[in-house]
Amino acid sequence: MAAPAAYADIVVGQVAPFSGPQAVTGRAMRAGAKLWIDDVNARGGIRGQRIKLVTRDDGQKPEETVRLVKELIEQESPIALIGTVGTSNLEALKQDGVLEKTRVSIMGAVSGATSVITARGIYPVKASYREEVDRLFKQLSETGRLRVGVVFQDDGLGRDAIAGAQASAKTYGITLVAQSGYARNTTEVTKAVEDMVKAAPDVIFLAATTAAAIEFTSRYQTAGGHAGLYGMSIIDVQALLAKLGPERARGFAFSVVLPTDDRQDREVVREYQRLRQSAKDTSELSSRSIEGFIAARALTKALERTTASGPQALSDTLERGFDTDVGGHRLTFGKGQTPSRYVDFAVLGTGGRLVR
């Protein structure tokens, strides 16, 4: 860069969906990351260098993710990327090899698929989908709810969740009475609703993204379905609550892989809420934003540990591995390492209140 290193911006890029069905996730991740980055800059940045967040909208189309990541790296020379959304999108980057060639890492990748967690240079900040599914099925077996239907997005996310469901079903004596997919990046859940009403499971496990989960829940209730609904952690529960209303959303259960707003015992939650209260624009902040916030905090911790400049030095820091505590959320980085194994469950109660 033309400016002296002491005054140059540290560029962090985000290629994610800011339009289309998954825009709610991309925007929430961006808003959460920006909340922390703005605070870091207000306190003088990293060793006197401000962090500049540069974004591109991929509409969650894998080919656009690859194209825009290459464009952003060439035009902006980021030290790292943050908050790319989608298993298929991240798999496309892995297959293309651009991250390995450039040694640019992605912090806070939004996927818990095995193919993503084991990819070089890609670092989620939460537990894997397999961990989520296994904990859910264990809990269902303990409560005697043994007939389960699965609604899944027909892509890498869904395939990973289905594989986990099949393995955990055998372990815990659960019968998968129906499995029904919907096309990626759509809310075309008509067949899934019909399949689940016909199968009448005790519980429906939603390996689905936010917009599709909301559409399925609404249509399934309208069709007279009565099964308990369990969503994956990737579903923005605040968005679901806002769309369906407290009464229709009541009873929706979901896995929790990051600290939630009610966890005042976690410093990261208290800090997030403090900064949110003082932020000028909170329109895009939602329950998913804490993931972007934690990702940005983890990235700054990695930058503080990296003495040399450039993406390769940061990549070396992450691959060598280190344990860190992001305000009560512990993360372990390292090549092929699952950063977190924390999985809990919550349900929306009366008036939209979160119940554990």
Phi, psi of 285 (to 5 degrees): -75, 135
- Among 270, 256, 196, 271, which residue's Cα sits nearest to residue 228? 196
Structure tokens at 60: 């969650």
Structure letter (DSSP) for residue 50 = P
Q: Tell me the β-bridge partners of 16.
A: 57
Structure tokens at 274: 């403090």
| Paired sense of beta strands 329-333 and 322-326, if any | antiparallel
Answer whether 10-127+264-333 and 129-232 agree in fold.
Answer: yes
pLDDT (tens place) for every residue of the chain, 356 residues total: 343 444 579 999 999 999 998 899 999 999 999 999 999 999 999 999 999 999 999 999 999 999 999 999 999 999 999 999 999 999 999 999 999 999 999 999 999 999 999 999 999 999 999 999 999 999 999 999 999 999 999 999 999 999 999 999 999 999 999 999 999 989 999 999 999 999 999 999 999 999 999 999 999 999 999 999 999 999 989 899 999 999 999 999 999 999 987 889 999 999 999 999 999 999 999 889 999 999 999 999 999 999 999 999 999 999 999 999 999 999 999 988 889 999 999 999 999 998 98
Structure tokens at 169: 């079903």
What span, in angstroms and rounded, lies between the C-alpha atoms of 107 and 326? 14
Helices (H) and strands (E) in the chain, counts: 13, 14
Domain map (residue ranges) of the chain:
10-127+264-333, 129-232
pTM of the model: 0.89
Beta carbons of 55 and 12 less than 8 angstroms apart: no
Does domain 129-232 fall into CATH 3.40.50.2300? yes
10-127+264-333: CATH architecture: 3-Layer(aba) Sandwich (3.40)
